[in-house]
Structure 1
């Protein structure tokens, strides 16, 4: 009994394993020689996926060798190791090798990686049997680039050309092969046109040479993927460079240049090569031996021309080879209205036939109506239910009669007259997009064979104006006959065109956004200035490498921290007030500040703040530049100006005291002598008045001289000079000034004493002149090589931001701040016109 149970369990296990194995998808590896994003490679991928994606039992993986940009032994050895890690243990059913380098890789490593795995190659330039010598299980698509026909047509369409300029890098393997190939057949053309090659050039050299070409030249663009300096150039870049450098006609042999500025040529299609290779892979998956499949060398080249370029060079459509495809060609009247004319004349003929056979057809119609009346009664309720469920339309397929019916509303939306369309499977399926038809038919068969309960498929159907409408079809089998065969299915149709267009637009926007973000990120990463992005709360969201280098933090440390933590001069509240001033009318502003590094050292910066107004949020872009050198230069210049100014004050004060003072004293002596010479009463009054004026002038000259260059400041220092200045003012009852010092016993640097004295005197003068204060408190302290000045008054108050922005005459507040700045000092002014009062704090580091 136990052995029987074990046997049963083993049998069930083997059964489920066999089901799991059968259900596994077949694996296909697409090995590209080049990189994703290269037009040629992406076109091959597009062609492969157009065939393989509809197959439910296939799983496709991609690997990119990137040999267009990297191709040396060290890199290839590393790629072998990478392939061994990623793919060696995966049981691939087919490997598609795209371009020569991928084929060489599968050939050179067949024993290790591809033993017993079928190989399908495609896009093999200048294919020879020797390329696959020794390989088994291999077939594929060659790539015979038809340069000869392209050149023949270019010479024929431009009979006045004297030179054919071939642009080629002559660096890559394919470029060298193509160059030699053109040289080999050139004598067969029997032309007087000279063949010239532009190769082994840098990008700038190529542009310069192309610009110098005159109208006697035409250009054939072969390959310019890498210049002589080793710089990689994509196909899109090289056609753009050449197109912008010349107005000459450009021809090529590759379809990825089509529509980008070339006239045309016998173009090789990467999409078509990818489709052909994928079709061979499907045959192999379905059991066909690759060795029995012949190598395909046709079907991917065709003449294609750009009508916009043809118009530039006077090329007519009738001059082109027969069967050529012309892009952007405006439709002729006949082709534009062909369908309308056919419908009109068909309708007219149908109308004549109807009139001629009206009586006969009426009787036949009556008979058919009677016969179908019973059928209509049966389906009436069913159709009514479907119409109520969906307003876009209904459809029905009868498997017995092999007929397909789409409701009138659908045909009208497609632009057709509903009474004239043919409700036959062939007519309906002819209007369904080829890429969707296969899925539609497969799903319908599954529903017919009871593999599905509900058909649910989306497809495109062509309107009368050649546009495409997306429909979503849902249907169920309504009836089976006695032989259990499906009779008919009915369902609803929903117009989902807007949704599909929106999805496509979203994908396009995503691609554009990613490209824009990549460009933006590149600019940010390469900038030499400090760049920080943060929100309106100061939380840092992103930084560039320069910011990390300047501040000494890693990017991980900076992101998530607060911008104000990096600033020594301003707190978060101050920054918030500044950020809130930014708007659409005032999107940016500058401010000077001091930033601190991770090692606690500081450096001065000028910060440019700009508003980034997003749809759902607002961010701040802060760009900071180190202004240490600029500030040092400004300080030196300012110190020189202040020193010159103080010297001039001293000179002027000395001149007043030593020159004008003695003259006035002499006049006073003469007036005294004159008063003793028995003057009359009138003369005595005049002499007395003159002596009073002279004495008053002497006093004023002394005061002016002292104010210009206080001798007490020069002789006794800052403390005594300020006390002397305050004592004179305290003689008045209008204001009281208190003055205190701490640790200010010795003398300071002369320039520091002069600046602090000027700052205190100017603050007092401003208070007396503008504030209407009654009391002033002044404190000067010296602590740890730091000189601190605190000035407080109880005046009416003011807005410091408005005052500091004005350019005043004389000393003024602006001049005070400049003098503090000359000593590398800092200042803060706090005042409020509503509360009143003012406090100024000045700090100067004497080190």
Structure 2
């Protein structure tokens, strides 16, 4: 969980609710915030559970002294000094070093190291610290950086305005604006725009943490495992960035690792060379095979006779059941495996109808199916068989149909496998999935009720006092004959008006009151106006039926799906126009939202991390609706929601 984005108590409540009664074997935490959270709530959530930590900056033994019996791990000591040294060595004319850093827990730890290092370079370069920046302002600041400067990017997980950024995202936002070389101390920036540096490897941190975890799971106590305080750092560089700033590979430390190096002749033409070699070898083999073909033929004939004997043995002792039936459904052959599975001898099986060994239900299905079997060359079916002792098992049958040259049925060749256990697991999975879906619907209803209650409290507890304040200010203003004071009163009243509007907007975002007092159509039109106002994207709306009488729950779920679709367009589509249609069709309500943006990829549609799409599908399921999203052939993305009226109105 990302503790940079969510406050401690929220994570604690979630974990306590979900895992309060679960006993873990081990917990792995990464980053200072995660470790501090674990220590803070250790007695309440994870008491006596072994903890392995990694990625901890400025680690001190006192941090875990109280819990050393249960805690061990690996510290993350970044080599800022090493990175600055190599950067100045590769760019000897550097006059200024711009350091970019945030004020998260890790960022503050990095700053402490910086302040200790700065004096060592005071006679060489000037340091400019860009701390806790606003991302947009930082982009402009980076563009203004003069020549003979380098950038040392530490962290921008959160900017001054409260926006959060993934590690890679912050660099992606800054790189296009930089004309100066960018260095860092983290390997996750490599390949995304930094020249390099003496980098801390997150991969090696995680690998080492995993090794420590395995020792604990194998029985070793955390207190017996020393905390690793030397972080595995190494020189790493990006060839593309080295080339961009005219840095020779010869200047790099010998132990450096360089990515994106140009391909060698072998690597570049490897497939062609391998292909030519294989063709040559193949032709040589053909010549050899042809030369020995005559002498080998007799040997093959002998091996075939031996093979037939082996085949019979394999056939009878194969792990799967095997049988053949003639055109009358009579068993003409079976292997020992099938005989054992049914509890009979082969002689008791051969000559009987295959339906003799089936349950009543499967017997009827087989009798209806068998006359049409000659239409197939291969088919897969499932049948329930009855053993000699009366027990039943389910078998998956692969039926191959053998016909003569005129297409007339001769016999079947059937391979079967006992899938009783698999069927049981499938049924349990189906029930689990259904239970999860019901839980999802319940959580959605809880969330909507909470939104409604919060919106009401915001309106009552903030909106009404602000309105009263506005009226009081207006009353006082009318009774004061002072131009300066009246002007100040006007300014204050305007501020109160602005606050009232903000409260109303916040309440509407949480729970549009239109859903409670008007119709779904009115709520959709309101949301479209808000969307156009906030995004400048043009919307074309066609609602064919304005007299839909829907339950509040149904209207709410349709509206939330529509709302999420617009949110996805605003975030990802890069669209300029959106078309919205809602109409009746064949006893259903059809809602179609289509944009002219970049279009959604199949990977995104199928991704388990597309939580917005997942929520839309679950809402659709809760109202027995069908939900489809796809990339339009005309460009852009199309969302189609079909809600059956018979089940919902």
Q: What TM-score range do you get, normalising by the shorter chain?
A: 0.3 to 0.5
What TM-score comes out, normalization by structure 1 length?
Answer: 0.35
- The higher radius of gyration belongs to 1
Work out which structure has the larger RCO, using CA pairs closer than 8 Å and 6 or more positions apart in sequence: 2
